[in-house]
Structure 1
Amino acid sequence: DLQTTVGHAGLRLAVRYGHTEIARLLLEAGANKNLQGNTGVTALMGAAESGHKEITQLLLQAGAAVDMRDKDGRTALMFAAADGHVHIAKLLLESGTNKDFQDSLGYTALIHAERRGNFETARLLAEAGADKDLQGSTSVTALMGAAKSGQEDMVQLILQAGAAVDMRDNDSYTALMHAARHGHVGVARLLLQAGADKDAQDQFGVTPFGHAVSNGHGEIAQLLRAKTRRIIAAD
């Protein structure tokens, strides 16, 4: 397990370049499957990030630790989620990895999948029971992130998985406020249909309607105003 000057052992190099047979030989020769490089990355993390399914299977069969963390607190599952490798994420989940660990920024595997727009990986995690409401360092949830970036399919997925619709981040913004600020009409509709509070106020007393108006998003402003009129008429 002598490491090179850049901190890579032979096994991790084999993983990096996708050399399955070399990795197999090294494992059979007793290579340390959990050795970490300078950034704390293990062979399993490298395989998860690169999407090497066969090597991932080899490492797991050899007993590689599934929940080790790199220097940023990331696990192999987070690497797989961030890069959209559904087949790798599935293998890791089947091997008992913790689906709700948070990295140094508070991001879970689900948040990593959401941030990179990896819908299928996010769906796998949601179906596996990943916590939808864990918050990152700025208290942003997966739902808020998806609302902010306008990912309608992701928003719908997370809502259907039971996410809390009116959680707040460090600025007291809700998912609906993020949608209103960034002009994502379709997302706003989905959130309203899910019961989002259209009258919620941030730390300065600004509502989703106020955010829509101040950012020049007239269509969302009209949507929110129409929603208010319908509620008043119903009363």
Structure 2
Amino acid sequence: MARKDPPQQPPPVQRLRVRYAKRGRLRFTSHRDFSRAFERAVFRARIPMAYSSGFNPHPRMSYAGAAPTGSASEAEYLEIALAQVLVPSEVHALLDEALPPGLDILEVVESPGGSLADRLEASRWRIDLSVPAAELQAAVKAFSDADEVLVERMTKKGLREFDARGAVLSVMASGAEGELARLDLVLRHGVPAVRPDDVLTALTAVSGTPMGEAPLMTRLAQGPLEESGAIGDPLL
């Protein structure tokens, strides 16, 4: 007996883009754990999701530019497809109530179309470090003066070497004399992706100064890179 084709699901009638934050202890939530928590939140909130076709239909959600596990973020993004048209502000309230504190919905808007991932061209990071400000400033100067700073990181394909300097659009150290330091960092997204911890490894490599233990990394923004060097809003 021939196997029947799986039922085809109707196409989505609405797409919404969501900006959310990872805060406090929830910054240690992995991308996989967040996606599971978000699917449970959608179910609890009774949001009428559109589903994929096939023998194992799943809700249509697409994630873009997820921050590394352990880093906080004020600018994480995803897109959901719905089977009914809803008011974005109502979806915002329903999702925020269904998610645990620390995984916070910040904005929900109608999708303007196109690829969300393609609009996430750069990120701005704030990194608080347990090193003296003067030492970080010296490391930043050495890094900025270099044409290339190679670092290594273990990836799914094994140990990989790449240039951390080329992805850095701007980097600035702050902190008064005798105080601990803060790094303001803007990274261009690319392949391979350069992460904030790669830049910390590079700073240590060029200066010989360890960047301390347990840095607090927070993504403040991500979006299209404007001609001025600012990061635009990817939801517009």
Normalised by the shorter chain, which TM-score bucket? under 0.3
Higher RCO (CA 8 Å, separation ≥ 6 residues): 2
The structure that has the greater radius of gyration is 1
Q: Which has the higher strand share?
A: 2
Structure having the larger proportion of residues in helix: 1
Could you tell me the TM-score, scaled by structure 1's length?
0.25
Alignment TM-score, normalising by the size of structure 2: 0.25
